[in-house]
Amino acid sequence: MATSPRSPPGAPPPPEFEISRQSRLLAALSKKVIDLDELRMLAAQGVPDGAAVRPTVWKLLLGYLQSDRALWEQELAKKRSQYAAFKEEFLSNPMETARRQELEGQGSENAGSTNNGLLHRSEVTQEEHPLSLGKTSVWNQFFEYSEIMEQIDRDVKRTHPDMHFFCGDSSFAKSNQESLKNILIIFAKLNAGIRYVQGMNEILAPLFYVFRNDPDDKNANFAEADSFFCFVELLSGFRDNFCQKLDNSAVGIQGTLSKLSQLVAKYDGELQRHLEITTEVNPQFYAFRWITLLLTQEFNFADIIHIWDTLLSDPDGPQETLLRICCAMLILVRKRLLVGDFTSNLKLLQNYPPTNISHLLYVANKLH
């Protein structure tokens, strides 16, 4: 049996260490061509909040920004324009679209004639008819996604209800909710194989929060577009976990849970046997949520942001780092788990206790 890693007390780093790390991070970002390996190494230790560079760091780590700074302005303009086109295509009400197209046609053909803005009955095509069942019908497509849109609306309204950024009656909170909904609806329509899976709003929230709080106002104003593309990139590494058809395959969520079980067995066989054999607490009872929602429900929001600094820094994608963190979470409470039964262990793991995040990440890193 491999021994469980030991670590020093999880005290916060001294101020001089934070200042040094911040200066190194700023120096790395100031280069004309950024060394991504160096950036990953620095970001994996946590991005200092005072540096105000996390939005840029995350965009680089997710491949949204290229390492050559000279390309940033052109690439951002291109992506943001593309997202605006997505909004135009996927968020428009079919009635508004049909009316606009009809009016545009009128303008070019009958500039001098008057009209009440309604199509004549003979001019309404099969695709434009609200009762059409054809696959190309804009109305059929609209109604097909109405249930998904309602689910997204419900989930977005439940996103971090304790944070005024996401919830409340302020225009700012409502605007942020609208942005989250737009991103998730467009993603669902562009990814027909997955569409929307409950909980995606929780994965989107940290990205949008970080980008919306960018100290650069221009970037902050384009947080919705930037979050969309980064969300797509992040989910690409976890796509199979959200595909129901692959649930029981080696690449689906069950395969991922099996990898976690193997990792725990490798580093603490006694703990793995007690959990899964003695008390019959299998990973799917607690780690399904940990993995599919990237730990967003297990810690407070500030800690989630710091965990994601480390998750996004893995050059091979976040999943392996995520599994190491999940394994470390078990190791940190092993004493309580080893004396627990099914009920107490399940309760503990489904309501993970507050912990020092720096210490948790230190232990996880030792599992590398």
Same domain for 248 and 184, yes or no, is: no
Q: Is the pLDDT of residue 252 over 60?
A: yes
Q: Is residue 230 part of a domain?
A: yes
pLDDT, position 9? 40
217 — pLDDT class (breaks 50, 70, 90): very high
Same domain for 228 and 338, yes or no, is: no
pLDDT, position 317? 82
Same domain for 178 and 202, yes or no, is: yes
**Domain end marker among 237, 262, 296:** 237
Distance in angstroms between the alpha carbons of the first and the last residue of the chain: 16
135 — pLDDT class (breaks 50, 70, 90): low
Q: Which residue segment(s) compose the domain that 298 sits in?
A: 244-366
Q: How far apart are CA 32 and CA 66, in angstroms?
A: 11
Q: Is residue 102 part of a domain?
A: no
Q: pLDDT tens digits, residue range 27-50?
A: 999 999 999 999 999 999 999 988
Q: Is the pLDDT of residue 203 over 60?
A: yes
User: pTM (2 decimals)?
Assistant: 0.83
Q: What three-state secondary structure class fits 68? A: strand
Distance of CA 34 to the CA centre of its chain: 24
Same domain for 155 and 213, yes or no, is: yes
We report the CATH number of the domain holding residue 352 as: 1.10.472.80
For 290-315, b/e burial (b = at least 16 CB within 10 A) is bbbbbbbebbeeebbbbbbbbbbbbe
**Domain end marker among 237, 268, 293:** 237
Q: Is residue 77 part of a domain?
A: yes
In the block, which residue shows the tokens 């050559």?
A: 68
Task: Tell which wins on pLDDT, 121 or 332.
Answer: 332
**Domain end marker among 211, 237, 263:** 237
pLDDT, position 1? 43
We report the CATH number of the domain holding residue 39 as: 1.10.8.270
Same domain for 271 and 356, yes or no, is: yes
Same domain for 203 and 277, yes or no, is: no
Provide the domain count of the chain.
2
Q: Is residue 12 part of a domain?
A: no
Same domain for 220 and 299, yes or no, is: no
Same domain for 226 and 347, yes or no, is: no
Rounded to the nearest 10 degrees, what angle do helices 223-236 and 54-61 cross at? 40
- 6-20, 114-128, 256-270, 320-334: which range is least confident on average? 114-128
For 260-274, b/e burial (b = at least 16 CB within 10 A) is bbebbbebbeebbeb
Same domain for 63 and 79, yes or no, is: yes
Q: Is the pLDDT of residue 141 over 90?
A: no
Q: Is residue 79 part of a domain?
A: yes
Average pLDDT for the chain: 85
Type of residue at 112: G
Mean pLDDT of 116-133: 48
Q: Is residue 107 part of a domain?
A: no
In the block, which residue shows the tokens 């003695």?
A: 278
Q: What three-state secondary structure class fits 189? A: helix
Q: pLDDT tens digits, residue range 150-159?
A: 999 999 999 9
| DSSP H stretches of helix in the chain | 15-29, 36-44, 54-61, 72-90, 94-109, 138-144, 146-157, 171-190, 200-212, 217-221, 223-236, 253-267, 269-273, 287-292, 301-311, 318-332, 334-338, 342-350, 357-366
Q: Is the pLDDT of residue 355 over 70?
A: yes
Same domain for 229 and 193, yes or no, is: yes
- Burial of residue 123 (CB within 10 Å: 0-12, 13-18, 19+) is exposed
Same domain for 301 and 156, yes or no, is: no
Q: Is residue 7 part of a domain?
A: no
Q: Is the pLDDT of residue 170 over 50?
A: yes
Pull the structure tokens for residue 218: 């221009």
Q: Is the pLDDT of residue 324 over 70?
A: yes
What residues contact residue 145 under an 8 Å CB cut-off, 6+ apart?
A: 185, 188, 189
Q: Is residue 129 part of a domain?
A: no
pLDDT, position 107? 53
Same domain for 27 and 64, yes or no, is: yes
